[in-house]
Amino acid sequence: MKIEKIVQLLDAKILCGHHRIHDEISKAFSSDLMSDVLTLDADNILLVSGLANVQLIRTAEVADIHYLVIVRNKKVTKDIIELATKLNIVLIESPFSMFKASGILFANGLDPLF
C-alpha cells in the first residue's frame, strides 16, 4: 500500500517526509509500547502508535522503521518533527483511534506483521 493511500484512508496529514508518499509498504504493527516495538524482527513496516514523543522517533530509528502514524489526534511538537525530518522518517498524524486506524488499514489490504 502506498503512503499516499494510507494518508487518504486515515483522513491524515503528513508532517514530514512528503517526498516519500509514493513509497510502498505491505505490513504494519500497532503499539503504544516501545518495549514491544524493539522486539520486532522486521523492518520497513508502518508503525501505528498513540505516542507522540521523542522516544517514538528514537525507537523507530533503531528499529529501522521509516513510516509512523500517530493516532488519537495527538499533538506532535516541532522538536519531534525536526528529529523525524533529520532521520528521513515519514511522520503522519491521524484523528482516528488506534483501533479504527488499524481496522481501516487491515480491511484495505495492509497485512499485520504477525
Interface with another protein by CB under 8 A: which residues?
32-39, 43, 49, 51, 53-56, 58-59, 61-64
Cα–Cα distance, 111 to 1 (Å, whole number): 10
What's the CA gap between 36 and 98, in Å, rounded?
Answer: 16
Residue placing its CB nearer to another protein in the complex, 56 or 91 = 56
User: Between 1 and 34, whose beta carbon lies closer to another protein?
Assistant: 34
| Closer CB to another protein, 23 or 53, in the complex | 53
Distance between CA atoms of 79 and 25, rounded to whole angstroms?
26
Angle made by CA atoms 80, 82, 99, in degrees to the nearest 5: 40
CB of 89 to another protein, least distance (A): 12
